[in-house]
Structure 1
Amino acid sequence: MGMRRATLRIRGKVQGVFFRESSRVEATRLGLTGWVRNRDDGSVEAVAEGEPAALEEFIRWCHRGPQAARVTDVERSDEEPTGEFRTFIVERSS
């Protein structure tokens, strides 16, 4: 099976708890590419591409997040992968 892409919006206590850096480390460990950033509404947004099993594992991780996080909701939308990313980075907040 080929690459997959998902855009996630993670809500709860997810800012100020190292969610972005922890998700970058987890995505890199899983071989995913993409980005993560804080949103002005207090949520975190992520776009990840990679092998389906790795992507699903990352999404499961996002439902928990790092130890200090308290995730209440993960909204997911699947899209066609573009292959535009080389690594997984923390982007500036939007």
Structure 2
Amino acid sequence: HAVIPPRKNAKMWKPDTPEARARNEAMRSSKYLGRALWRHLTGYHRRSRVETKTHCVKLLGQRLSARGFNRQVAEIQIRAAILNGFTALGIPCTVAVG
């Protein structure tokens, strides 16, 4: 089942169907725990990060151009190295002060 966070201004649905009951339960737990903790406990944050990284990989090309398996593996490793390089550029360097 997909875990989709309800909107902040979401209203409860009539509990006619299992889907509506699941959504209402997600809303109740989200309001009780807070959105950040709810996302962590349900695994939504991890899923969101995976979807974002998949999007980044696809920006480098929708398909592999290599035909052989070993070359495909090498192509994926190169893409991963490129993404890691881009990620490293965005991570700030912190220094202890005092």
TM-score between both structures, scaled by the size of structure 2: 0.26
> Of the two, which has the highest radius of gyration?
2
More strand by share: 1
Higher helix share: 2
> What is the TM-score when the length of structure 1 is the normalising length?
0.26
Greater RCO structure (CA 8 Å; 6+ sep): 1
